[in-house]
Structure 1
Amino acid sequence: MTGFNEGTRRLLRGRRAEASGRDAEGIAARALAAEGWAILAQRARTPAGEIDLVAERDGLLAFVEVKARPSLAEAAFALGPRQRARLVAAAECWLAVHPGHGEAGMRFDVVIVAADGTARRIADAFRVGE
């Protein structure tokens, strides 16, 4: 019976994390839209993985990873090298299917969201090859 209880706890944690992630993505999308960004895609699925948000403003295309953690400090360190590589590969896939975006360039942003709903955007958070 112990395995069942642990499995149930894991399932509930996963569902809470999923709901928290969706909430954080909504907060991030609203913040970007308020700054004049057009949200082109949310939870964009590609063969290389999912992109939380794809946004464009004045021809600048941003692939946005959203990280929700109890505090902004914890969220700021939540994007590791493997996730960066996955995001770059997913962006390449997205661009192949959606040509014509990013005439003024592209970048990778991270929006960090604390448990209280506070959000901060780290513009140009990393570059390809870092």
Structure 2
Amino acid sequence: MYTLPDKNTKQRERILQLREMRGSQAYQVGVDAETRVKTMLLKSGWQILLERARTKRGEIDLVASKESILCFIEVKSRQTTSEALFALRPAQQKRLYNAAECLLAQHPTWSYDQMRFDLVTVDAAGKTTWLEDILRQM
């Protein structure tokens, strides 16, 4: 026996489809921002050591080095720079720090005199803002 689909079921399915589309778009915006930042770093003389470095304790968007600096870089893309700045919450800061610890253990040959965490924001107009040394040991 055939029953008519429940209106709420169709509505739920549509909402899930929209969420999935937004998630895919947000993912692509993030990838594009990371690519933009990577290009900026390379033009500035940085060497990219890792991209989207995943560990059991978190992910770091870019790991780069220049001279004797080892830099863990988080990229945030939002409509405005201020929105991007506020997107790095304390819980994520802790995950970044923990992920960096894992990466340092996995790569004992990395040589550096200075290590830091930087945040690079990309707004809707494509403007990048680079904030150095945003995170200290907790």
Shorter-normalised TM range: over 0.9
1:50 corresponds, among 56, 59, 63, to: 59
- For the pair 1:59 / 2:74, whether they are aligned, the reply is no
Q: Distance in 1 between matches of 2:111 and 2:44?
A: 17
> Within 1, Cα distance between the matches of 2:80 and 2:95?
24
Give the TM-score normalised by the residue count of structure 2: 0.90
Query: What residue in structure 2 maps to residue 105 of structure 1?
Result: 114
1:31 is displaced (CA, Å) by 1.1
Higher relative contact order, structure no. (Cα contacts within 8 Å, ≥ 6 residues apart): 1
Task: Confirm or deny: 8 A CA contact 1:59 1:101 kept in the other structure.
Answer: no
Runs of 4+ in structure 1 deviating by more than 4 angstroms, as ranges, are: none
Q: How far apart are the structure 2 equivalents of 1:21 and 1:95? A: 25
| 1:100 to partner: Cα distance | 2.5
Query: 2:12 matched to 1:3?
Result: yes
Mean CA deviation greater in 62-71 or 31-40: 31-40
Distance 1:102 1:21 in 2: 29
**CA distance in 2 between partners of 1:25 and 1:128 (Å):** 25
Count of equivalent residues: 129
Q: Which runs of 5+ in 2 are unaligned?
A: 1-9
Q: 3-state SS of the aligned residue for 2:132?
A: strand
CA distance in 2, matches of 1:100, 1:59: 13
CA contact (8 A) 1:56 1:102 kept: no
The reply on whether 1:17 has 2:31 as its aligned counterpart is no
The one of 110, 122, 129 equivalent to 2:131 is 122
Rg bigger for which structure? 2
Opposite residue 81 of structure 2, the aligned amino acid is: L
CA RMSD in angstroms comes to 0.9
More strand by share: 1
Letter of the 1:46 counterpart: T
